[in-house]
């Protein structure tokens, strides 16, 4: 194969990847807006399923494709941020962990069983990482912006008085919340990934056919 043919093929592949990333990022932005509250957790903890496109991107493009989708999603969401940009920072950190863990495991062997194992591992990793990142980074910034740590802990203690330290509050509420969020994203992804992967293959073939004309 000549260098020009290789270059042309590489360009078409890049076009396909950029198209997929743009599509998935757009879906992620929409899903992030469709957040909803969950009973038995403080009202500022909102559930959304915007990590699904990142997970799909990590499988289709690779782990860093998922991270890029997560970055674009949160940069767009900064325009309407109500958290002083801290929520977007936290979402990006955890979404990046989710994408990287799943993507790196899946690309070693692309089978359904490995995909499921990769997703479950990624959900657990995201939940575990949420503990130190919230404790050392996110909540200290929140406390400075929104009335101090006592105010934040008060929202947890209104639900469970025993949550009298940040560490307890995060361990009791945030870690399970993040794990459930990850598992919901895993469930939906496993249901829709196969037909979507066929669609992406068709897109790639269509771009290659168009390039030959």
pLDDT digits (tens, 9 = 90+) for 65-78: 999 999 999 999 99
pLDDT digits (tens, 9 = 90+) for 128-142: 999 999 999 999 998
Confidence of residue 5 (pLDDT cuts 50, 70, 90): very low
- Report the CATH fold assignment for 3-35+45-195: Arp2/3 complex 21 kDa subunit ARPC3 (1.10.1760)
Does the pLDDT at position 146 exceed 90?
A: no
Does the pLDDT at position 147 exceed 90?
A: no
Q: How many CB atoms lie within 10 A of CB 46?
A: 16
Residue that has been written with the tokens 């669609």 in this structure: 199
pLDDT value of residue 13 = 67
Q: Rounded to whole angstroms, how far apart are CA atoms 124 and 119?
A: 9
User: Is pTM, for the whole model, over 0.95?
Assistant: no
Burial class (CB in 10 A: 0-12, 13-18, 19+), 31: middle
Span 101-119, mean pLDDT?
A: 92
pLDDT digits (tens, 9 = 90+) for 85-95: 898 999 999 99
Confidence of residue 209 (pLDDT cuts 50, 70, 90): low
The alpha helices in the chain, defined as continuous H runs, are: 3-33, 51-60, 63-77, 86-106, 112-133, 139-145, 149-157, 166-169, 175-212
pLDDT digits (tens, 9 = 90+) for 159-208: 999 999 999 999 999 999 999 999 999 999 998 888 777 776 666 565 55
Span 47-61, mean pLDDT?
A: 93
């Amino acid at each position: 194969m000549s260098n020009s043919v290789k270059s042309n093929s590489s360009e078409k592949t890049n076009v396909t990847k950029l198209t997929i990333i743009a599509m998935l990022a757009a879906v992620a932005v929409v899903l992030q807006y469709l957040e909803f509250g969950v009973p038995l957790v403080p009202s500022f903890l909102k559930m959304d399923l915007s990590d699904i496109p990142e997970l799909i991107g990590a499988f289709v493009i690779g782990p860093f494709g998922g991270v890029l989708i997560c970055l674009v999603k949160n940069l767009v969401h900064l325009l309407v941020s109500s958290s002083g940009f801290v929520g977007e920072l936290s979402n990006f950190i955890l979404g990046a962990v989710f994408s990287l863990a799943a993507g790196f495991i899946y690309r070693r062997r692309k089978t359904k069983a490995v995909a499921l194992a990769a997703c479950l591992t990624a959900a657990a990793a995201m939940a575990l990482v949420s503990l130190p990142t919230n404790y050392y980074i996110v909540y200290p910034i929140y406390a400075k912006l929104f009335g101090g740590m006592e105010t934040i802990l008060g929202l947890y203690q209104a639900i469970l008085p025993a949550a009298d330290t940040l560490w307890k509050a995060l361990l009791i509420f945030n870690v399970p919340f993040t794990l459930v969020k990850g598992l919901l994203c895993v469930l939906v992804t496993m249901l829709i990934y196969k037909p979507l992967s066929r669609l992406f293959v068709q897109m790639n073939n269509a771009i290659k056919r168009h390039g030959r004309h």
